[in-house]
Structure 1
């Protein structure tokens, strides 16, 4: 019987071939990078709150519209220096039920790259406003609002951050304060800051130098908000 008429053989070869190529081309290289990435000098591990925020970031689907990978292209200069494996050394599994590091690199930019979100928009209040209703700070934004990351209360508890929502977007009564998940997400966003690369560093070579961006990787523009 010829190969193309033996359906079971054809299915088996196709199936195992697909699995084998996936392992060789995608899974094993990614696992190697995850296990061998060395943090850049000056990088700090995520705090417990920031790690919780990473979980919120993934759970809310932020990766569907935002990347965290700066390519060695002129059009990416506004987002920072080109990314290197060490940038993701502290992006670790979220728990025993998630044995692999979350895929924060993303593949689409409906919104801007967030690699340096903590440098480009370091204001905690701005981040809260942007999450509560993006149109409050970026009138033409297409980003959805995330009001469930906040509570509307008659008066803010002691120590809580009151979000100064402008009149057109504010609730009819009460004040807006972030809940635990909102605080965690903003803490994570503010932690997104590229570590500088020293001249001659092996990581700098891997990043292609990126002299146009400077050592801090901020580039020429601080905008790019969604």
Structure 2
């Protein structure tokens, strides 16, 4: 009886370990062999903080960060950039590929929209820059001040949205989030070695 229980326990343990190795261990080891592309920069401290805001505010639930190849959707027709390769995500832990596209893909948003002010306005009230947008405003990332201080990023709001005599300035979280969004540019050229495993 004891021997059968031991065999059962060992079988369950072996199944779990082999499953983990196949689904987690081996893919992680394979990806770790991929060199970063020459044009890919490590995130700065501010961009990493902005990435945490991106996660906290749930941006990944409506936006993907993966450009699909021809034949797998309309990404190429929308000029969202070349198809993503594993090397594009070397510094992304965890990756934020996303599964929903309620909004557009953001992997190359900095190439499509390089303006800091555009992103600030889009976060404060998306319909200012994209009429008809269904994205919710993230106005809590901004502050209303009687006067802007030196170094403040002031929003250039339309007159109809300007609060009486007060400036709308970006808070720390808004600045960091925009810094992260402006780091999302994977339009650099890639080599065959970047797209595949070393020596494969």
TM-score bucket (shorter structure): 0.7 to 0.9
Query: TM-score, normalising length from structure 1?
Result: 0.72
Q: Does 1:142 align with 2:140?
A: no
Match for residue 163 of structure 1? 155
2-side partners of 1:142 and 1:20: how far apart?
44
Match for residue 3 of structure 1? none
Match for residue 201 of structure 1? 192
Contiguous gaps of at least 5 residues in structure 2: 1-7
2-side partners of 1:102 and 1:168: how far apart?
41
Contiguous gaps of at least 5 residues in structure 1: 1-8, 92-100, 207-226
Q: Within 5 Å, give how 1:1-226 maps onto structure 2.
A: 21=19, 24-25=22-23, 27-33=24-30, 35-73=32-70, 75-77=74-76, 78-91=79-92, 101-198=93-190, 201-203=192-194
SS in 1 for 2:168: strand
Superposed CA deviations along residues 180-208 of structure 1, whole A, max 9, x for unmatched, are: 1110000010011114225x6333579xx
1-side partners of 2:134 and 2:14: how far apart?
42
**Root mean square deviation, CA, Å:** 2.5
Superposed CA deviations along residues 117-147 of structure 1, whole A, max 9, x for unmatched, are: 1100000000000000001111110101101
CA-CA distance at 1:16 after TM superposition: 8.4
SS in 1 for 2:106: coil
CA-CA distance at 1:51 after TM superposition: 1.0
Query: TM-score, normalising length from structure 2?
Result: 0.81
SS in 1 for 2:143: strand
SS in 1 for 2:151: coil
